[in-house]
Amino acid sequence: MPAPRVLVTRPAAAAAAWVAQLARYGIAAEALPLIEIRPEPLTGALAQARRQLSRYAAVMFVSGNAVTSLLGSDHIYFDKSGSDHNYSEQNAAVAPTDQAQAAIETRAWSPGPGTTQALLAAGWPRARIDAPAADAAQFDSEALWAQVAPQVRAGLRVLIVRGGDAAGRLAGRDWLAQRLQQAGVQVDQLLAYRRAAPVLAPAARSRALAAAADGTLWLFSSSEAVANLRQCLPAADWRGARALATHPRIAQAARDAGFGAVADTRPALADVVASIESLA
């Protein structure tokens, strides 16, 4: 049997990328973004943090969105020796000439492959990136901690670059921040972007309702996406719907929402593809 049609619920840019990647494996997929990303203006605290990365032993980026919101995709640029190149005129006002050296001296902590790729695209040296092992059961704060804990000691200063809710309040898990603080680390937290529930257009609402019972496989990579779906369609019945989640916590959120069949998978592309094919 062919693999089921898949609805990718990541934010718009990431959803489009996943649809294209799944298509290369012969999997029919379409984007139904359930999280809207709104980057903060690169001013104020965000611009100041970017200028002062050298103050931190490490900067933890919670996602690729955190990377691009703070660094863009080409703000830090190194050659193989680690020397810094000139910045574009566009970035000169917010990227002083000591920025590249600051990044070389500061480690970047990444919870997974997507964030790591965003860091590499921004020019952060691979040797200065810490991330979960490629064969980690999950890509999350706990898996990252297993890698970075040996670096941690009292008195260090760590910056966590993260998202917030639509009102600009920091949102998401505080597990890593709490663990660092317990170890005597000074933790600063920076709002880089806001996450909001989308306003579904009529066509998107119709597609979502049809996918509640037509065999479509919902691909969830965030519990927030599940919550936003419930907010957008509060009267929908999901008992006939199927979901594939990239973390056990997300799978539980889908079950709590009423999805009738829920499986979980590692978030790496190859694992997601294999899980989709197994659900044919």
Whether 187 maps to a domain, the answer reads yes
Whether 172 maps to a domain, the answer reads yes
The CATH number assigned to the domain holding 106 equals 3.40.50.10090
Task: Single out the residue in 179, 196, 213 at which a domain terminates.
Answer: 196
Whether 252 maps to a domain, the answer reads yes
Residue 29 to residues 4, 44, 200, 229, 266: CA-CA distances in angstroms?
A: 9, 40, 18, 18, 19
30 CB-contact burial (10 Å; exposed 0-12 / middle 13-18 / buried 19+):
middle
Same domain, yes or no, for 42 and 158? Answer: yes
User: For the CA atoms of the chain, what is the radius of gyration?
Assistant: 20
Same domain, yes or no, for 57 and 170? Answer: yes
The confidence score (pLDDT) of residue 280 equals: 79
Residue 249's CB: how many other CB atoms inside 10 A?
A: 14
Has residue 52 got a pLDDT over 60?
A: yes
- For range 246-252, the mean pLDDT: 95
Whether 114 maps to a domain, the answer reads yes
The confidence score (pLDDT) of residue 77 equals: 30
Same domain, yes or no, for 51 and 180? Answer: yes
Same domain, yes or no, for 140 and 207? Answer: no
Same domain, yes or no, for 66 and 131? Answer: yes
Same domain, yes or no, for 64 and 150? Answer: yes
Same domain, yes or no, for 159 and 58? Answer: yes
Residue 156, token pair as written in the block: 């260090």
Q: Tell me the pLDDT band of 73, cut-offs 50, 70 and 90.
A: low
Q: What is the pLDDT of residues 84-132, one digit of tens each?
A: 222 232 333 334 334 444 555 899 999 998 899 999 999 999 999 999 9
Mean pLDDT of the chain: 88
Same domain, yes or no, for 176 and 212? Answer: no
Query: How many domains is the chain partitioned into structurally?
Result: 2
User: What is d(CA 159, CA 107) in angstroms, rounded to the nearest whole number?
Assistant: 10
Same domain, yes or no, for 97 and 180? Answer: yes
The confidence score (pLDDT) of residue 220 equals: 98
Residue 143, token pair as written in the block: 């898996």
Same domain, yes or no, for 218 and 236? Answer: yes
Task: Single out the residue in 176, 196, 216 at which a domain terminates.
Answer: 196
Has residue 81 got a pLDDT over 90?
A: no
Judge whether 219 and 265 are in contact, CB under 8 Å: no
User: What is d(CA 16, CA 22) in angstroms, rounded to the nearest whole number?
Assistant: 10
- For range 202-208, the mean pLDDT: 96
Q: What is the signed CA dihedral for 245, 247, 251, 252, rounded to 10 degrees?
A: -170
| Global model pTM greater than 0.85 | no
Question: Which has the higher per-residue pLDDT, 137 or 127?
Answer: 127
Percent of the chain whose pLDDT exceeds 90:
76
Has residue 49 got a pLDDT over 80?
A: yes
Contacts with 226 (C-beta within 8 Å, 6 or more apart), sequence order: 34, 220, 250, 253, 254, 256, 257
Q: Tell me the pLDDT band of 3, cut-offs 50, 70 and 90.
A: confident
Q: What is the pLDDT of residues 156-167, one digit of tens each?
A: 999 999 999 988
Residue that is written with structure tokens 């927030």 in the block: 224
User: What is d(CA 187, CA 56) in angstroms, rounded to the nearest whole number?
Assistant: 9
CA nearest 85: which of 77, 93, 73, 94?
77
- For range 4-19, the mean pLDDT: 95
Q: Tell me the pLDDT band of 76, cut-offs 50, 70 and 90.
A: very low
Which residues partner with 170 through β-bridges?
A: 164
Same domain, yes or no, for 84 and 105? Answer: yes
User: What is d(CA 32, CA 211) in angstroms, rounded to the nearest whole number?
Assistant: 11
Same domain, yes or no, for 231 and 179? Answer: no
- Please, what is the angle between helix 248-257 and helix 223-232, to 10°? 20
The confidence score (pLDDT) of residue 84 equals: 29
The confidence score (pLDDT) of residue 104 equals: 58
The confidence score (pLDDT) of residue 91 equals: 36
Whether 256 maps to a domain, the answer reads yes
Whether 1 maps to a domain, the answer reads no
Domain enclosing residue 274, as ranges: 6-35+199-278
Task: Single out the residue in 177, 196, 215 at which a domain terminates.
Answer: 196
